[in-house]
Structure 1
Amino acid sequence: MRFDGVGGGFMDERRADGRWTYADAMQRDPWRRGIVRRAVRRISVLMAWSLIAGVVIGFALPWVSAPVGEHVGLRRAVGVAFETMESLMVDDHPDGRGYDRASFDYRGTDDDGDGCDVRDEVLARDMTDVRVDPSDGCTVRRGVLEDPYTGSTIRFTRGSRTSSMVQIDHVVALENAWRSGARGWDSQTRRRFGNDQHNLMAVDGDANEDKGSASAAYWLPSNTGYRCRYVARQIAVKSEYGLSVTTAERRAMTRVLGGCPGQALPDTDASES
């Protein structure tokens, strides 16, 4: 071999057959061999540090602040709503036998004694520009609903063909409540639940019918911006009445709450829409 005055190393000489191997080059050129060894050491160190960093980040991500969690796309469900959900009993064998919607006596009570139907009270609460029939001071004739489930605006007018555009939803459906524990309640508790305005909301009629009696495991509002508050309200109601959740329902709630760290429960003194 001969010295390369430009590169400062030794040029490789070919073998007799006109070819040379990588091993030949490394053996003949100490300068190049040193570069390779240093590169290997550096790569090994970088890989070790990357592994350590991955472990540290894996442990730290569940506890990072919400903005950081949103930036990296990994968030942990925390907050009062999540903690309350964790306290709910899990029952993966709910019993729906004997369910009868009439047993909840929906619209059969007048708890505040004002003579108004609970449907009209919820309509008046949840809509704007409300017009009430002056003859009774109760019947809602028209109003504007900013529907939380779809995010759409509905101009409500009472009538045989139009009233169904806005319906009153039991956020925790009556049949779901029955399967989750209401089956064992007395009639007074069922009646209170069926007319509890904390569990009632004026919503888009089609969305309400699409939901049916489904839990959060099988149905969530198409308006993704409302899902956290929807799930939080279900949790609040189930906690208040001692109702259970299924494993699938709990997982669905956890996924939703992962997108809103710190989610609180709705105010029990005034419904939130």
Structure 2
Amino acid sequence: MSPRAKSTPLPDLILEPLVRAALMEDLGTYGDITTRTVIPAGTTYSAQLNAREPGIVSGLQIAALAFRLVDPALKITAHKADGDVIAPGDLLMEIKGDAASILSGERVALNFAGRMSGIATLTAAFVAETRGTDTRVTCTRKTTPGLRIVEKQAVLHGGGLNHRFSLSDAILIKDNHIAAAGGVRPVLQSVKAQASHMIRCEIEVDRLDQLAEVLDEGGADVVLLDNMDTEKLSKAVEMTARQVVLEASGNMKLDRIAEVAATGVDYISSGALTHSARVLDLGLDF
């Protein structure tokens, strides 16, 4: 894996409510009774967060925040940064201080870091399949409820791009909108009549005759080509001749990305980046 471009870290102010909620869930109503029972008060230790398999690391900022929220006195030293390529045995972070505090924050820190690293690693694999083309890989809104912002950050760490964060970011006309509104032309006419000039519009089509309607009517900045086979995607690229941005979506699995990118579409979006990524194996060792 090649090194990834670094994305700007999110402010801790945004991350803190997510991490605090996870810590409260894990600590329960009475805290870490195991640690309190077996670890003598005042015991100090040094722990290392290590990689146990190769990939792209993400979630280190969140892991460090989890330890700091449990105990601000812990000394945390980062040896890798989010977006770095990692190998088995790599030291990612050292945490020194009160042993009980480290143990109480361990699971939440690992849950976030393992989950986000898995997303970044899968994204990097998708991106690698587009090498030699201008096609970019992007995620979707198929994210874990409450964790969208950090999962989308992990996509950036893997070299991908972000789609909308919420329904209020942009207009995305899906098949159900078209059905309810009476067709492609009526929805685009409504957008042109009502939408702010500051808002971009994307429309989903699953047939080439719908694409022709979109091109004839105008009003869309991006066309989402949904569940089209590779031959139809190639024809769509020919039809549009770069008049609009094209996004291929639906059934975009890793083994298909290279052939889809070769059609010349501008973007490939895949919900699998966030909803089907395997957790990367990281461990905390005393």
* TM-score, normalised via structure 2 length: 0.24
Q: Which has the larger radius of gyration?
A: 1
* TM-score, normalised via structure 1 length: 0.24
Question: Which structure dedicates a bigger proportion of its chain to strand?
Answer: 2
